[in-house]
A and B are shown apart, each in its own frame.
Chain A
């Protein structure tokens, strides 16, 4: 147990500390890997202030894997050190110059307190606490990590230094795993255990965002600093000279940095390693993909005011077609899902003064970032609650949860939808029997509609051909000038303009068919035929 296998490439200056205990084979693997690292490089990096796991990441030939998370940083350090006194253990508490504490499991939380975790499971436990605060219900999750950009710059600087010193070494040539991916590898398994969930690219994402503690750019790369100096110097020149001269300088700077990357530089410029490195601030955000509910809605209110127009100088838009009280439906579902917000999509819409009766219009509610998925039982309760509400403005039918095929359901039949209406029509002369017959006999009547004046300000002026599939006239008791007109038309037909003719821009119109003036008093949608549902 006391003798460890000596590595092939290491020099014999590295004495192994035989007092390390190997409880399980994971730790032993890590120990062996630690001892197999190039000890000169390890010593250099330790003295620069690079953390243990970053050293593993940068110097090891083997793939960086999750076994490392079970070993605490201090243990790792003791295995990496050769026992020389120069490796001062008081550096333990300082922040890594490459990963800024990310891989050391050190971060500041929202209250600016420093949180340290020794090993992966401890870190996972803290993350779990923060995730649980968001209140989501989930059984699988995906993990995303965001780190500040300076980490990449720091890493590049360190690699340059290593290349300068150990250019020919084999371990230098392999692809190094990034800090982001390294963190994911380290914490994924402990998180799975601690959250009690599977991991997959699912609908629920946990995002760990590390951001820099201070706002000033630390360790800015050479090129940006030079660029800043240059700008003040060039202020005397004309603008157009500046643009292509700065372009030229940028190209030169890029060339220089490329050259450096290939050949390395033996010493780092004084600017690079004198900064104070602070741990990052970690914020956790959980996001669930939107969930959908479908159903059919009815609209019973006909929000018409007597004075429809106000004579003033403001350009008044048409009465808003977005019906505010339809939001009642979403407003009831959102609390049941504990979501952040919702969007209401309907398969078409009707004017504010038109009621939606009959079989209802299909709609979708999209809930963003819902915390829990309501059961069918609770959906039925919501439906009843809306239908029984006092004001009787809207009604809902068939409210249910629906998966990703919802959009297909909306798209299909959108252009082929036939719609049925019932309108109360007034004409200038009494209704006669022959009118009823002549109207009912018109099947598949083709009409040409120019864009109605009431929407002409926001739609293109086109001439649209539409079909009226059938019509039926019903006399109204007690009035000789009014009748009830049932009609079934192609999607996109303007019914009001078909009745009153829109200054003659819709032909044929009810008025031209009957030979007298016709006006529409009220309009109701009685059916919205979807493809099959």
Chain B
């Protein structure tokens, strides 16, 4: 504030009266400014107290936004054995569809390498849904093909699992298919579908809850190797490890992997063909 006032004064050097009065105003305003600052900092302190009033109740590791707002359902062996999907249903009725950790595609070496939305009669990634009434949304049945995921050896068709309007597909996956490997239950979701209430009630009968899913697939979930993150998540599911610890392990695991990649680079440049592999056993 004082800076602008100085500039004004220098602009009119002749007007001495102006200088006088602005100087007076300046000193008054400086005082006023101090008062205001005091008042402001008082208010800020009060605000901070309010903001942090619930600090004792902060949980060590909070539930994720997905866990809070969505109900998890799973569907296993859909049309083919090993094709397991999750359906996260939001309180407002929308369903997020994706690959469950026990899907066969994750077992292949190297995980998922590619995803293609051009299946069935149209390319699902170019549909443009507009407006509140969701015009132009594709009406899908539960066995409508959604996309095709490919691994090094094989390719699998992913289906809608829910009857409803297809609102959105995750086109980020086209450029970054590794999202499916690293976080298939969050950033690696495949599509968002809006079912009608009547359709959902009928559909629900063929879905199972998280507990039932864990029981049904516990042999796969307990497979004892850790070399990839989806497997890590499976273990977390089975052992109810707190998600904080899981994400911490994930984080450090990524760092270890980055380090092994660096080590490989160095070894290659030295002309050696040694490989480094990290394995953690439970």
Contact = CB atoms under 8 A, between A and B. Distances in A.
Nearest to B54: A522
B99 interface: no
Contact of A516 (B63, B197, B251): B251
Nearest to B93: A315
Given A311-B71, A461-B129, A503-B189, A524 B62 contact: no
Contacts of A193: none
B90 A453 contact: yes
Contacts of B55: 476, 478
Interface string B43-55: 0000100111011
B194 A457 contact: yes
B94 A456 contact: yes
B179 interface: yes
Contact of B131 (A460, A476, A479): A460
B189 A429 contact: no
A408 interface: no
A10 to B, nearest CB: 74
A496 B65 CA distance: 9
B204 interface: yes
A429 B248 contact: yes
Contacts of A460: 130-132
B75 interface: no
B52 A521 contact: no
A459 B96 contact: no
Interface residues of A, number: 49
A95 interface: no
B15 interface: no
Interface in A76-122: none
Interface stretch (A167-175, A205-213, A420-428, A432-440): A420-428
B105 to A, nearest CB: 19
Interface in A318-369: 318-319, 355, 357-358
A504 interface: yes
A225 interface: no
A357 B187 contact: no
B201 interface: yes
Contacts, number: 121
A524 B55 CA distance: 14
Contacts of B251: 428-429, 516
A387 to B, nearest CB: 14
B69 interface: yes
Nearest to A486: B51
B1 interface: no
Nearest to A462: B130
A308 B168 contact: no
A313 interface: yes
B181 to A, nearest CB: 14
B69 A309 contact: yes
B50 A357 contact: yes
Nearest to B56: A478
Contacts of B92: 315-318, 454-458
Q: Interface extent on B, as a size class?
A: 35 or more
Contacts of B192: 453, 456
Contacts of B51: 357, 422, 424, 484, 524, 526
A513 to B, nearest CB: 14
Interface in B149-201: 167-168, 170, 172, 179, 186-187, 189, 192, 194, 197, 200-201
B268 interface: no
Nearest to B43: A358
A453 B58 contact: no
Contacts of B204: 313
Given A313-B200, A357-B51, A429-B248, A504 B187 contact: yes
A517 B67 CA distance: 14
A519 interface: yes
Contacts of A521: 58, 62
Interface in A431-474: 450, 453-461
Contacts of A311: 71
A500 interface: yes
A504 B62 contact: no
B61 to A, nearest CB: 8
B201 A504 contact: no
A13 to B, nearest CB: 78
A318 B68 CA distance: 13
B276 interface: no
B273 interface: no
Contacts of A318: 91-92
Interface string A495-533: 010001111100000000000110111101010000000
A11 B64 CA distance: 101
B91 A504 contact: no
B247 interface: yes
A297 interface: no
Given A311-B71, A524-B51, A519 B64 contact: yes
A277 interface: no
Interface in B223-282: 244, 247-248, 250-251
B197 A315 contact: yes
Contacts of A500: 64-65
B162 to A, nearest CB: 14
Contacts of B64: 500, 517, 519
Contact of A517 (B58, B129, B167, B247): B247
A43 interface: no
A141 B47 CA distance: 49
Contact of B167 (A426, A455, A456, A479): A456
B132 A428 contact: no
A482 interface: yes
Contacts of B186: 501, 503-504
A28 interface: no
Contacts of A522: 54
Contact of A457 (B63, B93, B244): B93
13 contacts: A318-B91, A318-B92, A357-B47, A357-B50, A428-B244, A476-B52, A479-B58, A503-B170, A503-B187, A504-B172, A517-B64, A519-B63, A524-B50
Ranked nearest first, the 3 interchain pairs of A and B with the lowest CB-CB distance are A504-B187, A428-B247, A457-B92
Interface of B: 47, 50-52, 54-55, 58, 61-66, 68-71, 90-94, 96, 129-132, 134, 167-168, 170, 172, 179, 186-187, 189, 192, 194, 197, 200-201, 204, 244, 247-248, 250-251
Given A316-B91, A453-B90, A504-B179, 9 more contacts: A316-B92, A317-B91, A319-B91, A355-B50, A428-B248, A456-B167, A457-B93, A503-B189, A519-B63
